[in-house]
């Protein structure tokens, strides 16, 4: 639950511009996700956007999404004033996560739910994001996560702050929350007009459905 708002925590991911960021903040988002992985349709360059990102209203967490970035790059990004936390959405090793954890920077670890996935919880993870298992993809696919498998994971890790992602929309997020009982939810494609432009009405409807 969002401690500030007394409901499930909400992250709007794949933000590419200031207007969409402000729309999400005004709608009540607890966090914004900025995809710094060049392979993403929602990729942005931190150096070109950090100015407006730093000037966003306080109180909403700014999370940089990385995929198998070198540790030195992850630490550099985590130290940027425009970033509050890092989300590791690739195949980062336990050793990698342990080294990053030593920096004291906040981070989220993504795990895919589905056939062939162990669903193990990294010991260093403060928060873990569960996403749909789509071979060769690293989030933002629009494929709906298996709610029952996600619910089993949450039950198996009762003290973990689990964030549910994967194909969530204004139409299905209420059911997802009721079934999985996560700490938070993460949405990208479900509130978009295009991969690089959010839909304000969908953002508002999504957060209202969570409340």
Question: Model confidence over 120-171: pLDDT tens digits?
Answer: 566 677 899 998 865 444 455 567 888 999 999 899 888 899 999 999 999 9
Segment 65-86, tens digit of pLDDT: 999 999 999 999 999 999 999 9
> Which of these, 109, 118, 112, 107, lies nearest to 167 by C-alpha position?
112
**Are the beta carbons of 68 and 92 closer than 8 angstroms?**
yes
**Are the beta carbons of 107 and 87 closer than 8 angstroms?**
yes
**Are the beta carbons of 107 and 100 closer than 8 angstroms?**
yes
pTM score, two decimals?
Answer: 0.91
Residues with active-site annotation: 13, 131
> How far apart (Å, rounded) are the C-alpha atoms in residues 80 and 146?
35
> How far apart (Å, rounded) are the C-alpha atoms in residues 134 and 121?
19
């Amino acid at each position: 639950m969002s401690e500030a708002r007394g409901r499930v925590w909400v992250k709007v991911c794949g933000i590419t511009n200031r207007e969409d960021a402000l729309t999400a903040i005004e709608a009540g988002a607890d966090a914004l996700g900025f995809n710094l992985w060049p392979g993403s349709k929602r990729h942005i360059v931190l150096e070109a956007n950090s100015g407006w990102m730093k000037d966003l209203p306080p109180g909403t967490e700014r999370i940089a999404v990385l995929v198998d970035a070198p540790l030195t790059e992850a630490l550099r990004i985590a130290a940027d004033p425009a970033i509050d936390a890092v989300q590791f959405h690739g195949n980062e090793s336990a050793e990698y996560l342990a080294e990053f954890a030593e920096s004291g920077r906040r981070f989220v670890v993504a795990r895919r739910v589905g056939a062939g996935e162990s669903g193990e919880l990294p010991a260093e993870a403060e928060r873990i994001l569960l996403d749909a298992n789509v071979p060769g993809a690293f989030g933002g696919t629009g494929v709906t996560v298996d709610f029952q498998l996600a619910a089993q994971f949450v039950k198996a890790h009762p003290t973990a702050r689990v964030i549910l992602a994967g194909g969530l929309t204004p139409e299905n997020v209420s059911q997802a929350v009721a079934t999985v009982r996560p700490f938070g939810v993460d949405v990208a494609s479900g509130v978009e007009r295009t991969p690089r432009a959010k839909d304000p009405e969908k953002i508002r409807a999504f957060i209202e459905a969570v409340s």
